[in-house]
Amino acid sequence: MRGRIQGEKSRSAAGAGRREKEEIMAIREVREIGDDILTKKCKDVPKMTLRTKILIGDMLETMYDKCGVGLAAPQVGVLKKIVVIDVGEGPIVLINPEIIETSGEQTGEEGCLSVPGKWGIVTRPEHVKVRALNQEMEPFEMEGEGLLARAFCHEIDHLYGQLYVDKAEDGLHDVTYEQDEEEETEE
């Protein structure tokens, strides 16, 4: 998922997690809308392997490189239930995630690294609780609200072949950066 569609301010915070990583990771190609793989359902991850560890590292690196706040494995061409998220509070890795509780409602802008240059208005729950496995394959639960709740929903949708574009309430809009840049130079 892309966050802060009309602004760049969260980007540097989102990059912080990357610098802490010492392993060498690779940026993978992000599949774009129209690619069949984005419409397919993912399989559970049965056990942690070196290959999966490398995939997770690459997913984080790719997300930070593209200034995203979330990325799901099918977006890099792998049909496994793995999601990475960083809404500016550090990296979160969810393996085989499920949404187990939702409440409230939020309506706001959403974008996706697989739908470059576009955003749409999507209504999501305000609070979301997920259950998942961590990288040690230990179960945990995590609650999110606001942007994190939105990221949980958006990324888990990817694991079921769903894109936000089908939920966008007013169609898709083009991202414009000009307004932001003007504001920054005038200040």
Active site residues: 155
User: Is residue 62 classed as helix, strand or coil in its secondary structure?
Assistant: helix
- CB 135, min distance to Ni ion, A: 21
State the burial class of residue 141 (Cβ atoms within 10 Å of its Cβ: 0-12, 13-18, 19+): exposed
Nearest to Ni ion of 166, 186 (CB atom): 166
- CB 26, min distance to Ni ion, A: 20
Instruction: Please list the helix, strand and coil fractions of the chain in percent, rounded to the nearest 5, in that order.
Output: 30, 30, 40
Size of the site for Ni ion (CB under 5 A): 2
Scanning the structure block, which residue is given the tokens 């997913």?
59
Query: Is position 14 an interface residue for Ni ion (rule: CB under 5 A)?
Result: no
Query: Is position 92 an interface residue for Ni ion (rule: CB under 5 A)?
Result: no
Nearest to Ni ion of 73, 112 (CB atom): 112
Query: Is position 59 an interface residue for Ni ion (rule: CB under 5 A)?
Result: no
**Positive or negative: CA dihedral 176, 179, 183, 185:** positive
Nearest to Ni ion of 63, 133 (CB atom): 63
Q: What are the C-alpha distances in Å from 26 to residues 58, 64, 77, 134, 185?
A: 5, 11, 14, 21, 34
Of 127-186, binders to Ni ion (CB under 5 A) are none
Residue nearest to Ni ion (CB): 112
Of 104-123, binders to Ni ion (CB under 5 A) are 112
Site of interaction with Ni ion (CB under 5 A): 1, 112
